[in-house]
Amino acid sequence: MAKTYEEINEKIRDKQAVVVTAEEMIDIVKNDGAKKAAEKVDVVTTGTFGPMCSSGAMLSVGHTTPRIKMTSATLNDVPVYCGLAAVDLYLGATELIEHGPQNKVFPGEFAYGGAQVIEELVQGKDVVLRAKAYGTDCYPRQKLETLINLSEMNNAVLLNPRNAYQNYNVAVNAGDKRPIYTYLGVLRPRLANANYCSAGQLSPLLNDPHYRTIGVGTRIFLGGGVGYVYDQGTQHDPSVPRGPGGVPLGGSGTLAVTGPLAQMRTEFLRAVSITGYGVSLSVGIGVPIPILDEEIAAFTGVSDAEITAPVVDYSHNYSNNTGEPLARVTYEALRSGRIEVQGKQIRTAGLSSYAKARAIAGELKQWIENGSFTISRPAEPLPGVDSGVKTRLLQIRPPQQNNHNRRGSARR
């Protein structure tokens, strides 16, 4: 018995919808079977919270008097991109404060960058906007220095081209020299520890492995507020080999998401300083999955024991796009605190907070149960396994010397 989006939304509006988290769905599918589970449950909520580098904020400040068309600008000394319109700015989460020490004293602390500015904006704090311009007849101002906060901006949205990775690598250091400092944390040599970063059985795309319900236009929980999936994420790669239940064996699908910063809370949007690597933004995302039929119910019943991740050496193999995974391990093993790789017991740690993922799935469940959040039918599905979409490495093609053609003619 299939259900439609409209039928489920009618139930949500009547506060009659049966909503469970992806964690709660595991036992329902196991005990009642997918068919019964599909009849019983209307929506399954998912959640994930971890560092998602491809994040940023699209900001539009008011016009000044006289007007300015910014050509370079900073917010709290963090450069923002101005190549848009006069007073539109993009603040990248991983952009670093100007003249910061970076990794000059290794490993760098990376105390401040775009993510920290975003967090301060969400806290309602004033930040310093400095801008320069060359001046035009219509935009004569050449310099600007002002305090500004989120409530004074005309538009401020989180705009994240790649988030919510469907599965990910487990990182280890197979080298024998020194600890390495990666975006997956501190990895001590000789396989001393392993770091993973996925909410596993609670993760949105692992509960909808073939993107049957998550697509362009899907309404989601984003950073504590309401947001939307606006496209497939960058590096979306549905071609990655899959195991039972369509579960990809490594990083594959991704989501591009957006939503207004004004609704967000630092509980679910936090700046991170990754030692030796840089700054990033931890983003809380929750996606509702309408249980339209038995197949979708079965997918949402996936458990950590059925999801495996590749263990990858980050001392050499990852950086050089070479080698094979050292092992495959389940998220159940990863969450137990120990995995076995090449006969060695290794301690594990997460970078994605399962406790937060659970809180997000729980809050989204409440929103749907109380009728304030309805589900949306995607305007367009994400490219699937048969789409031919695949992520490629960049093949470096050195440009020819003395090639004058590419800049156009500056001469009159």
Partner 1 sequence: MIQKSAILNFPKDLLDRPVISNVIRNFEVEVNILQASITPEEDGRMFVIFRGGKEAVEQSLAYLKNSEIRVYLPVKNLVWDENRCVHCTACVGQCPSSAFTVDAQSRQVVFDAARCIACELCIPACSYNAVESISEHLAKTGGQ
Contact call for residue 163 and partner 1 (CB under 8 A):
no
x/- mask, partner 1, residues 353-392, rule CB under 8 A, reads: xxxx-x----------------------------------
Please report how many Cα atoms fall inside a 13 Å half-sphere around the Cα of residue 260, on the Cβ side: 8
Cα–Cα distance measured from residue 362 to residue 359, given in angstroms and rounded to the nearest whole number: 5
Contact call for residue 288 and partner 1 (CB under 8 A):
no
Token digits of residue 74: 């900073």
Contact call for residue 168 and partner 1 (CB under 8 A):
no
Considering the complex, state which of residue 199 and residue 298 has its C-beta at the smaller distance from partner 1.
199
The pairing of beta strand 127-132 with beta strand 72-75: antiparallel
Residue that is written with structure tokens 């490219």 in the block: 383
Contact call for residue 103 and partner 1 (CB under 8 A):
no
Stretch that binds partner 1, among 32-40, 61-69, 267-275, 287-295 (CB under 8 A): 267-275
Among 235, 273, 317, 330, interactor with partner 1 by CB under 8 A:
273
Q: Which long-range contacts (CB under 8 A, 24 or more apart) does 328-334 make?
A: 328/249, 329/170, 330/304, 330/305, 330/306, 331/196, 331/198, 331/200, 331/201, 331/304, 331/305, 331/307, 332/303, 332/304, 332/305, 334/170, 334/194, 334/196, 334/200, 334/304, 334/309
Contact call for residue 19 and partner 1 (CB under 8 A):
no
Q: Which of 119, 133, 140 is nearest to 76 (CA)?
A: 119
Stretch that binds partner 1, among 54-62, 67-75, 131-139, 350-358 (CB under 8 A): 350-358
Could you tell me the smallest distance in angstroms from the CB atom of residue 105 to partner 1? 13
Among 92, 161, 185, 204, interactor with partner 1 by CB under 8 A:
185
Contact call for residue 270 and partner 1 (CB under 8 A):
yes
Residue that is written with structure tokens 């809370």 in the block: 265
Could you tell me the smallest distance in angstroms from the CB atom of residue 390 to partner 1? 31
Contact call for residue 198 and partner 1 (CB under 8 A):
no
x/- mask, partner 1, residues 63-92, rule CB under 8 A, reads: ------------------------------
Contact call for residue 181 and partner 1 (CB under 8 A):
yes
Active site residues: 138
Could you tell me the smallest distance in angstroms from the CB atom of residue 261 to partner 1? 19
x/- mask, partner 1, residues 318-347, rule CB under 8 A, reads: -----------------x-x---------x
Cα–Cα distance measured from residue 168 to residue 250, given in angstroms and rounded to the nearest whole number: 5
Contact call for residue 113 and partner 1 (CB under 8 A):
no
Considering the complex, state which of residue 60 and residue 273 has its C-beta at the smaller distance from partner 1.
273
Considering the complex, state which of residue 132 and residue 188 has its C-beta at the smaller distance from partner 1.
188
Give the alpha-carbon dihedral of 224, 249, 391, 103, to 10 degrees.
60
Could you tell me the smallest distance in angstroms from the CB atom of residue 412 to partner 1? 54
Q: By rule CB under 8 A, what count of residues binds partner 1?
A: 32
Cα–Cα distance measured from residue 312 to residue 173, given in angstroms and rounded to the nearest whole number: 8
Contact call for residue 193 and partner 1 (CB under 8 A):
yes
Cα–Cα distance measured from residue 369 to residue 363, given in angstroms and rounded to the nearest whole number: 10
Q: Which of 188, 184, 185 is nearest to 174 (CA)?
A: 188
Could you tell me the smallest distance in angstroms from the CB atom of residue 170 to partner 1? 11
Could you tell me the smallest distance in angstroms from the CB atom of residue 229 to partner 1? 23
Considering the complex, state which of residue 209 and residue 225 has its C-beta at the smaller distance from partner 1.
225
Provide the terminal-to-terminal Cα distance of the chain, rounded to the nearest Å.
71
Q: Which of 103, 104, 184, 227 is nearest to 350 (CA)?
A: 184
Contact call for residue 51 and partner 1 (CB under 8 A):
yes
Token digits of residue 120: 């301060």
Residue 144 DSSP code: E
- Cβ 306 vs Cβ 328: under 8 Å: no
Considering the complex, state which of residue 218 and residue 352 has its C-beta at the smaller distance from partner 1.
352
- Three-state secondary-structure class, residue 9: helix
Task: Catalog residues that contact partner 1 under the rule CB under 8 A.
Answer: 49-51, 107, 181, 185-186, 188, 193-195, 270, 272-276, 280, 282, 335, 337, 347-356, 358
